[in-house]
Structure 1
Amino acid sequence: MLKQYQHIQVSVDGSKEADLAFSEAVGIAKRNGATLEILHVIDTRSFQNVSSFDSAMVEQVSSDAKNKMEKYYDRATKAGVKEVHFSIEFGSPKTIIAHEFPKKHNIDLIVVGATGLNAVERLLIGSVTEYVTRAADCDILVCRTKEVEDALNDHKDN
C-alpha cells in the first residue's frame, strides 16, 4: 500500500539540487492532493563574520529570498498544486528543516536536494541533508542531479 502524504515540505536554496527537489515535491503534492510548504532558511551564522553588519544587508537578503520564493510559489500553483505556502525562516538550517518547521506545520514528508550551495559538499551528501535524514521524525526524499551521481561514482572509483 502506498503512503498518502498530506503535508509536504521542500527546502530550497537556489541550487540545482534544490530545484530538482522542488520539482519532485510538486509532483508528489499533485499526486497526493497534499499541501506544499516551500521553505527557505537564511543561515544567520553567515552574518556573524561580517564586521560592518547592518540591517540593510539583512533586508537585501530577505528581499532576494522573497522574490525567489514567489517564483517557486507561482511555479507550483501553475503546475496544479491546490494548496501552496512559502516561508522564509532565520536561524540554523539543520534544526529548522529537520525539527522546528515540520513540527509547526505537521509535515509528513520532507523533500531536499542531495547537496546545497556549498561547493565542498557537492562531492558528498550535504551536511544539512545528512543531518535531516538522520534527525527528522518524518519520511525524507533526497533528490540528486546527474552531476552529483557522477561525482559520487567517480569518488568511489578512486
Structure 2
Amino acid sequence: MLQQYKKIQVAIDGSSESELAFKKAVAVAKRNQAELLLVHVIDTRAFQNVSSFDSAMVEEVSETAKTSMARYVQKAKDEGLEHVQYFIEYGSPKTILGREFPKREKVDLIMIGATGLNAVERLLLGSVTEFVTRNATCDVLVVRTDLNNQPIPPLEDKKDK
C-alpha cells in the first residue's frame, strides 16, 4: 500500500527556499488530498537582545507575519487546496518545527527548505533544517530542487551573479 500523507507541515520564513518548499508542499498535498499546515515561527530570542524592547515590536512583526501567511493560504486555495491553515508560533524555530508543532498537530510529513540562513548564521546557530531532520518523529522532505526538479544554486552562488 502506498504511503498517503494526511497532514503536511511546511515551514515558511520568507526565504526563497521556503517559497520552493511551499510550492512543492501544495503539490504533494493535492496529490494526497491532505491538509496543509503553514507554520511561521517568530524567534523570540531575537527580541531578547534589543535594549529598548517593547511589545509594539512583537505586535508589528506578528501583523506582518499574519498578512504574509494569509497570502500563502490564498495561493494554496487558488491552486485547488481546500484544507489549508496557517499558524504563527513564538519561540525557538528548531524545537517548534521539529518537535512541538508536529506532535501537537499530529503531522505525518514535514516539508522544509534546505536552508533559510546565510553561512555565518548556520555556523553560529546551527541549521533549523538539520535539527528538524534529526529530531522529527515523522517523515521529513528537504526541498532542494525547484518545481521542475532542477537543483537550486547555493546562496553563495546567487550572490556572485
Please give the TM-score of this superposition, normalised by the length of structure 1.
Answer: 0.89
**3-state SS of the aligned residue for 1:27?**
helix
Is 1:123–1:148's contact at 8 Å kept on the other side of the alignment? Answer: no
- Counterpart Cα distance in 1 of 2:72 and 2:99: 23
**3-state SS of the aligned residue for 1:80?**
coil
- 2:15 matched to 1:9? no
- 2:115 matched to 1:109? no
Q: What are the Cα deviations for residues 8-65 of structure 1, in whole angstroms up to 9, with x where unaligned?
A: 0000100000000000100000000000000000000000100000011001100110
Q: CA deviation at 1:99?
A: 0.8
- Counterpart Cα distance in 1 of 2:119 and 2:72: 26
Long gaps (5+) in structure 2: 146-151
Is 1:111–1:140's contact at 8 Å kept on the other side of the alignment? Answer: yes
Identical positions, percent:
57
Once the two structures are superposed, the pairs formed by residues 1-158 of structure 1 within 5 Å of their partners are 1-116=1-116, 118-120=117-119, 127-145=127-145, 146-148=152-154
Is 1:109–1:138's contact at 8 Å kept on the other side of the alignment? Answer: yes
RMSD: 1.9
Q: Aligned pair count?
A: 149
**3-state SS of the aligned residue for 2:53?**
coil
- Counterpart Cα distance in 2 of 1:78 and 1:93: 28
- Counterpart Cα distance in 1 of 2:155 and 2:65: 28
Is 1:6–1:34's contact at 8 Å kept on the other side of the alignment? Answer: yes
**3-state SS of the aligned residue for 2:74?**
helix
- Counterpart Cα distance in 1 of 2:121 and 2:143: 13
- Counterpart Cα distance in 2 of 1:40 and 1:150: 25
Long gaps (5+) in structure 1: 152-158
Structure 1's consecutive aligned runs of 4 or more residues displaced over 2 angstroms after TM superposition are 121-124, 148-151
